[in-house]
Amino acid sequence: MTDPCLQRGCFQIPSTSAITTGLLLALCAQGLVAQNATEIRFENRQPHSGVDFVLNNGTTSDKPIIDSIPGGVALLDYDNDGYLDIFFTNGAQIPTLSKESPSFYNRLYHNNHDGTFTDVTDRAGLRGAGYSMGAAAADFDNDGWTDLYITGINRNILYRNNHDGTFTERSVAHPASVCHARRRSTRASRTSSITTTAMEPSLMSPLLPASPVRSARAWA
Ligand SMILES: [Ca+2]
Ligand SMILES: [Ca+2]
């Protein structure tokens, strides 16, 4: 039998006790969510992970400004096993800006699928060169394998993924060359930008091996 109230199109107003009960349930649900959120915990797994990378910026007693630049990290699945691997950039000796010891090598760690990683830098051919800063991971040639591009004070390097756990250096761009190219392009188009100004050779050249510290002092 149809409710006469519904037939008349009326509405039934909830009682005060029903509203109170609803509010209490909502507060309890909110409390449970907050309680679950506080249960999230982080644990330092580094000691047992095999990731033993230590950044060496090669800083000197006069603290050149370039020592604050390195430390790029890229997470990539370079071997297509479905697990992210880790790549770190590293600094170099100052003022030579060369990786004169293993402590300056860039590092690639392979994900072992069990919470641990293995340093595969040497096998991959990714020790690097120069004073490295940043890293970008992308498949530049669209072959399904992620490649690496490393930027640095005196060396930019593109590494192509060989599909077998190794990389091949495809090109090396000298920042000064990039600066000259940008300056020519800027003059031709009669435009300017902060990026172009910041990369002017007059500013970058002191950072090169001849006198990198002098430039750092000028900028400090
Ligand atoms: Ca992987
Ligand atoms: Ca590729």
Q: Is the pLDDT of residue 156 over 50?
A: yes
- Measured from the alpha carbon of residue 108, the closest ligand is 1
User: Separation of 91 CA from ligand 1 center, angstroms?
Assistant: 25
- Give the residue, 71 or 123, on which the prediction is more confident: 123
- Give the residue, 203 or 167, on which the prediction is more confident: 167
User: Separation of 164 CA from ligand 2 center, angstroms?
Assistant: 12
Amino acid 18: pLDDT: 56
What's the rounded Cα separation, in Å, for the pair 92 and 6? 81
**Tens of pLDDT along 203-219?**
334 444 444 333 333 33
Q: Which residues contact 169 (CB under 8 A, 6 or more apart)?
A: 125, 157, 158, 159
State the chain's mean pLDDT as an integer: 76
Amino acid 76: pLDDT: 98
Q: Is the pLDDT of residue 2 over 60?
A: no
Q: Is the pLDDT of residue 196 over 90?
A: no
**Tens of pLDDT along 36-59?**
667 899 999 999 999 999 999 999
What's the rounded Cα separation, in Å, for the pair 55 and 68? 11
What confidence tier does 201 reach under pLDDT thresholds 50, 70, 90? very low
Query: What residues have a C-beta under 5 A from ligand 2, the ion?
Result: 139, 141, 143, 145, 147, 161
Amino acid 109: pLDDT: 98
Eight-class DSSP state of 79: T
Q: Is the pLDDT of residue 92 over 90?
A: yes
